[in-house]
Chain A
Amino acid sequence: MAVPEPSPGDARSQGMTLQQRRVVWAWAFMSPVLLALLAVALWPLVTTFLASLTNASISGGDGRFVGLGNFLHHGATGWGGVLASHEWWRSVGNTALFTLVTVGAETIIGMLLALVLSSRLRGSRPLRAAVLIPWAIPTVVSSEIWTWMLQQQGGILNVLMLETHLIRQPIDWLSDPSLMLPAVMMVDIWKTTPFMALLILAGLQTIPRDVYEAARIDGVGPLKTFFRVTLPLVWPAVLVAVIFRMLDALRVFDLIYVMTGAVPQTETMAVYIQSHLVGFGEIGYASAASVVMFLIMALLLVGIIWSGRKRLLGESR
C-alpha cells in the first residue's frame, strides 16, 4: 500500500499548520477501518432492521412490509410477535440467569485463582501456563469434551464419582431438565475463569508490595488484609473484567448449541434467533428478535460506557 506523502513544502503552500495536517492524516488513517465497519457492521445492521419490518420467510413469506407486526400485533388468536412471545422472554430469562450465575462464580473463583497465581512460591508459574489451556481451546471443543465427560453411560465424571462413593446412581447431566442449565454454566465457568483471573492478576500486580509490608508490620491478619487492603485496591480491575465477561456471557451461543441444542431449559437469546432464522427460516421474525436483542445490549452498553467514560478515556487526554 503506497501512500504518497506530502513534503513539508507542499503543506506550507496549502497554508496548513502542522496540527491541521496531522488531523487530515488522522482521518485518512481512520478511513479503512471506518469503511470496513460500515460494510460489516452498519450495512448488516440496517438490513436486519429493514427485514424485521417484513414478513420474509423461507416458507411462503413474500417479503411484504408488515410494519411492526413482527414485534407485536393483535390477531384472531390474541397477541403475537416477539414481544408477546413467551418463548422469547423465557430465553431472555435464561440468558440473564446464565450471565448472573456464571459471571458471579467466575469473579469469586477467578479472584482466588489470581491470588494463587500472584504468589511468589514455586509452582505458580507452571500453573499460570496451565490455566490458559481452557481459555485457548475452542468453545465447541470444550463443549464436546464436557458433553463426553458428563455422559450418563461411560462418562468419566459419573464413573469417578461412583467409584469414590460420592453418588449411588449415575447423574444424567444433559437430559435431566433441572440439570441442563447448571451443567452448561459449569462448563462456561471452567472455560472463562482463567480470563477473569488474568485480568484480576494484572490489577493485583499494580498494588505496591510495601502496602502489604505495612499491613504485616501492623499485625493485620491475612483475611483482614485481603478485605481491607487488597480488595479495595483491585476493585477497579475486577469491575472492568466483570463488564467484559458480562457482555460476553449475554451473547452465549456455541456452548448451548453444542451441549443441549435449542431446548426450553437452556435456550438463550442468540440460540433463539439462530434457530428461528436457520431452523424455521422465519427471516422477518428472527430479524425482529435480533433488533430486540440489539436494543437490550445497546442500552446496557451505553449505560456502562456512560458511567465509566472517565475511566475508559482517562488516558486519551
Chain B
Amino acid sequence: MKAVRTAGFYLVAGLFFLWAVFPFYYAVVTSLKTGFAVMTPTLWPHEASFANYVHIFELGFGRNVLNSVIVATLTVLVAGLVSLPAAYALSRVSFRGRSTLLVTMLGATMFPQAAVLSGLFSVIRGLGLYNTWWGLIFSYLLFTVPFTVWVLTAFMRELPQELEEAAIIDGAGPWTIVTRIFLPLLAPAMAATGLLAFIAAWNEFLFALTFTLDNTARTVPVAITVFGGSSSFMPPYGNIMAASVVVSAPLVVLVLVFQRWITSGLTMGAVKG
C-alpha cells in the first residue's frame, strides 16, 4: 500500500516536472537548430549551432537588451527609494487615514493597466517622453510602486517592536530608524521585493508596445514579437526561440538561485497581508 502511494506520488510529481520544464527545454532545442532543421521537430538538436544567437544580435537585439536592463533597473531603484519610507510609516506609525492608504495601495496593485492606456499615452506625449526610457520608467511606476509598498509594509510588520522603542529612547529620529536599523534587517526582504519588481518590469508588454516606436527604447518583449518578419530566408522560429532563451535564461537562473526569497516575497504580498 505504502509502495503504491509512493509510486503514485512520483508519477504525479514527474508529470508536473515535465509539464513545467518541457516548453522551455524545447525552446532551447529549437534555438540551436538552423535552416530547415528548425521546421523538423525533434526532441534534441542533431547539429547544434549558435547561428540564431549570432543572427539576432546582428539584427540589433543587443540594443533591446540594453533598453530592458536600464528601464527595469531604474524602475526598481525609483520604486524602492520612494517605497521604503512609506512602508515604514504604514507599518509602524498609527495615524488617521492609514487603513485607507493601505487599501488604496492594495487596490492600485490590481489596477487594470489598459484602463489608463489612452490617458497615460497623452501624458507621456505631453511630457515629451514618448519612445524614451523615461517614458517607460514613468509608466512602470504605476504597477511597481503599490506592489513594493504593500510587500515591504508586510515585511516590516514582522520586525519586533522593541527594536524601534529602544532606538526612540536613545533619541534616534525616524530617518535614522529606517536607514540604520530597518534597512540592514530588511536587506533580504528588499532583495526579494526588488527582484519581483524587476521581473514585472522586465516582462511588461502593453506599455512597452504602446509607448515605443523603434529600437531607441523598444524593450525585449516587444522586440521578440516583431522578429517574425525581419528575415525572409530563415524560418523565424529559430530567431524567436533564440531571443526567448536570451531573455528568459537570466530570469530562470535568478529565480532558481533566490527561490526561497521569491516564495516568501510572493506569499508576503498575498497571504500575510
A43 / chain B contacts, CB cutoff of 8 Å: 119, 123
User: How far is A22 from B88 in the complex, measured between Cα atoms in Å?
Assistant: 11
Interface string of A180-211 (1 = CB under 8 A from B): 00000000001000110011001100000000
Known A-B contacts A22-B93, A47-B122, A190-B19; the reply to A198 vs B115 at CB < 8 A is no
Q: Is the CB–CB distance between B89 and A29 below 8 Å?
A: yes
Flag the segment in A100-108, A125-133, A225-233 that touches B: A125-133
Known A-B contacts A8-B171, A26-B93, A32-B82; the reply to A198 vs B10 at CB < 8 A is no
Interface string of B1-25 (1 = CB under 8 A from A): 0000010011011001101110110
A33 at the interface (CB under 8 A from B): yes
User: How far is A278 from B209 in the complex, measured between Cα atoms in Å?
Assistant: 10
Known A-B contacts A18-B168, A37-B146, A293-B114; the reply to A137 vs B251 at CB < 8 A is yes
The DSSP consensus for interface residues of chain B is: helix
B41 at the interface (CB under 8 A from A): yes
Q: Is the CB–CB distance between A146 and B259 below 8 Å?
A: no
The contact of A290 among B83, B114, B203, by CB within 8 Å, is B114
Q: Is the CB–CB distance between B110 and A248 below 8 Å?
A: yes
Interface size on B, residues (CB 8 A): 101
A25 at the interface (CB under 8 A from B): yes
Chain B residue, CB-CB nearest to A297: B112
B106 at the interface (CB under 8 A from A): yes
Q: Is the CB–CB distance between A116 and B9 below 8 Å?
A: yes
Q: Is the CB–CB distance between B273 and A146 below 8 Å?
A: no
A195 / chain B contacts, CB cutoff of 8 Å: 266
Q: Which of B94, B115, B145 has the most CB of A within 10 A?
A: B115
Cβ distance B255 to chain A, nearest Cβ, rounded Å? 4
The contact of A40 among B21, B138, B168, by CB within 8 Å, is B138
Q: Is the CB–CB distance between B108 and A37 below 8 Å?
A: yes
Chain B residue, CB-CB nearest to A159: B41
A263 at the interface (CB under 8 A from B): no
Known A-B contacts A30-B101, A140-B224, A144-B224; the reply to A277 vs B270 at CB < 8 A is no
Q: Is the CB–CB distance between B117 and A274 below 8 Å?
A: yes
Q: Is the CB–CB distance between B224 and A141 below 8 Å?
A: yes
B254 / chain A contacts, CB cutoff of 8 Å: 136
B63 at the interface (CB under 8 A from A): no
B69 at the interface (CB under 8 A from A): no
Flag the segment in A71-79, A80-88, A171-179, A308-316 that touches B: A308-316
Cβ distance A317 to chain B, nearest Cβ, rounded Å? 7
- Residue contacts A-B, CB under 8 angstroms, 15 given: A5-B173, A25-B89, A25-B173, A25-B174, A29-B88, A47-B123, A129-B256, A145-B27, A153-B39, A156-B43, A253-B205, A273-B114, A274-B114, A294-B112, A313-B99
Interface residues of B (CB under 8 A from A): 6, 9-10, 12-13, 16-17, 19-21, 23-24, 26-27, 30, 39-41, 43, 81-83, 85-86, 88-90, 93-96, 98-99, 101-104, 106-108, 110-123, 138-139, 141-142, 145-146, 149, 157, 168, 171, 173-176, 178, 199, 202-203, 205-206, 209-210, 220-222, 224-225, 237, 240-241, 244, 247-248, 251-252, 254-256, 259, 262-263, 266-267, 270-273
17 new A-B contacts at CB < 8 Å, known A5-B173, A41-B111, A315-B273: A7-B173, A37-B145, A48-B120, A121-B9, A133-B21, A134-B23, A138-B251, A144-B241, A195-B266, A199-B266, A202-B271, A237-B271, A240-B271, A254-B221, A291-B115, A294-B115, A301-B107
